[in-house]
Amino acid sequence: MKKKKFIFVLRNFIITFLDDLKIFNILIPKFNFKEYIKRGQKSASIKNIVIVSAITLFVKSLGFFKEAVIADSFGLSELLDTFYIAILIPGFISTVFLGGFKSVFIPNYVIELKSGKDISAFQSTCFLVTILVSIVFCLVAVLFTDVYLETIFSGHTDDYYLLIKTQFYYAIPCIIFWGLSSMLNGLLTIYNEFTFSSMNTIFTPITILLCLFFFKEELGDIVLVVGTLIGSILNFLLLLTVSLKKDIIKLGLPDFVSKNIKELFIQLPAKLAANILTGINPVVDQYFAAQLIIGSIAALNYGVKVPMFSIGLVTLALGSVLLPYFSKKVIENRDKAFSELKRILKFLLIGSSIVAAVLIVLSSPIISLIFERNAFTSGDTTIVSGIQQLYLIQIPAYITIIIMVRFLESINKNRFMVLTAVICLILNIILNYALIQYIGVYGLALGTSIVAIVNSLILYFYISYLNKQQILTT
């Protein structure tokens, strides 16, 4: 019986895969743009996306100005390399664990809210878990600092390690503030308070710039990380103030046995595992970069700025709005949610491909305009622009990945993403090892783009398979 069921499922998956090879037909979509504009004027979701996009553009532009000032001050230097290493683990913990918790929290919170139950217990439980987990990770990060450095970034001088550790200890407290900010951000998006939730990182570039302009001499080697820490505190205070003012925070006695809390914790291991495996990829890239000449890590970070800026404008806006949107939509009408997703993907694939092509052509002038001055030389521009071009290839794939991941999160399909993450991690390691033998640091950027493309195809075919299964069962 089990064998027959397996064959049936496998058969349907293969049929779906073959059907979806028609994906290339979406390169010539038949859009009625007038109709889209009319819908957009009436749609609250689209209005929210526009609001978030505008705010994100401002915040990202501010961040870019910050990067230009950093480039002017440090170029491809040892200090910048050590700063990126110092914030790598705190950033990893924040993105993987605390961001993962938020992704599972939102759809299950929506279900709890729709049930009409007192939401205070659910909120309190999630806040308590966030605080406890953040503190545990802070302690673990401090205790295993030396092990982490000696294992991942071996072969450097004592002064190099001291510089990393000095900055690292200032970065550790950020984990707590990033975790709480992530929860507050999730609550604000659920209640359609997108204006302030999209501003949740606005203070970090501001505080880094203020430290560079006014306190560079006093702070010395810790100037960047102190600015990062102060920014994380102010970002948290902003979200807390808004949440209290909007009366969104409702605390009560924690409840670890309610149905939706249990579902949250059932989904959490798979989501965290997927995030860990995905989050390891940048660590893997930096490990390989550390084996190359000094400045390679900084070059990678500069090279990814424009691609991530472009991606961030879309994904932060769409991701913030669409996770609660899909979470509500699948409760109302799952079939319609699938069709909405595919329509969004078609539009984004075309638009992002055009943007990527333009940016690839203009790569060198963009890097020169933004970064090339003082410590950042024309030679640095040549290196970074080449890296950037290879990173830009991934833009269409990366954007569609974010949207598809948000959809799968909304229907609690986190386990499949673990498998996808394993495949992508193994592929990334293989590509990094192979490509740096021939093209050095450029191979790390090319490998990242190839992995993104493979990841997007896997997710697309899986979602199409789920859609076909949904049709068959209704």
Asked if the model's pLDDT at residue 29 lies above 60, the reply is no
Asked if the model's pLDDT at residue 26 lies above 50, the reply is no
Query: What pLDDT score does 450 carry?
Result: 93
Per the prediction, the chain carries an average pLDDT of 75
Amino acid 46 reads I
Query: What pLDDT score does 315 carry?
Result: 59
Average pLDDT for residues 419-436, to the nearest whole number?
A: 89
Side-chain half-sphere of 452: how many Cα atoms within 13 Å?
22
Phi first, then psi: what are they for 263, rounded to 5°? -65, -40
Average pLDDT for residues 100-104, to the nearest whole number?
A: 72
Band of the pLDDT at 30, cuts 50, 70, 90?
A: very low
Summarised one tens digit per residue, pLDDT across range 240-297 is 998 888 888 888 777 777 777 777 777 777 777 777 777 778 778 877 887 777 667 7
Q: So where are the chain's domains? A: 12-473
Please tell me what DSSP assigns to residue 144. Answer: T
Helix axes 296-303, 305-332, angle to 10 degrees: 50
In which region does residue 249 sit, left (phi positive, over 0), alpha (psi from -120 to 50) or beta (all else)?
beta
Query: What pLDDT score does 76 carry?
Result: 62
Beta bridge partners, 376, equal 373
Please spell the DSSP secondary structure of 204-242, one letter per residue.
HHHHHHHHHHHSHHHHGGGHHHHHHHHHHHHHHHHHHHH
Residue 379: how many other CB atoms lie within 10 Å: 10
- Of 258 and 128, the structure prediction assigns the larger pLDDT to 128
Query: What pLDDT score does 33 carry?
Result: 40
- Secondary-structure percent of the chain, ordered helix, strand, coil, rounded to 5: 85, 0, 15
> Roughly how many angstroms between the first and final C-alpha of the chain, as a whole number?
23
Token pair belonging to 67: 């990067």
Contacts of 323 (CB under 8 A, 6+ apart): 103, 106, 107, 189, 406, 409, 410
Per DSSP, the three-state class of 29 is coil
Band of the pLDDT at 1, cuts 50, 70, 90?
A: very low
Average pLDDT for residues 458-467, to the nearest whole number?
A: 85
Residue 115: how many other CB atoms lie within 10 Å: 12
Contacts of 240 (CB under 8 A, 6+ apart): 180, 184
Asked if the model's pLDDT at residue 42 lies above 60, the reply is no
Query: What pLDDT score does 9 carry?
Result: 43
Q: How far is residue 142's CA from residue 149's CA, in Å, rounded to a whole number?
A: 12
Task: Provide, rounded to the nearest whole percent, the portion of the chain with pLDDT above 90.
Answer: 4
Q: How far is residue 341's CA from residue 378's CA, in Å, rounded to a whole number?
A: 43
Q: How far is residue 286's CA from residue 307's CA, in Å, rounded to a whole number?
A: 17
Band of the pLDDT at 41, cuts 50, 70, 90?
A: very low
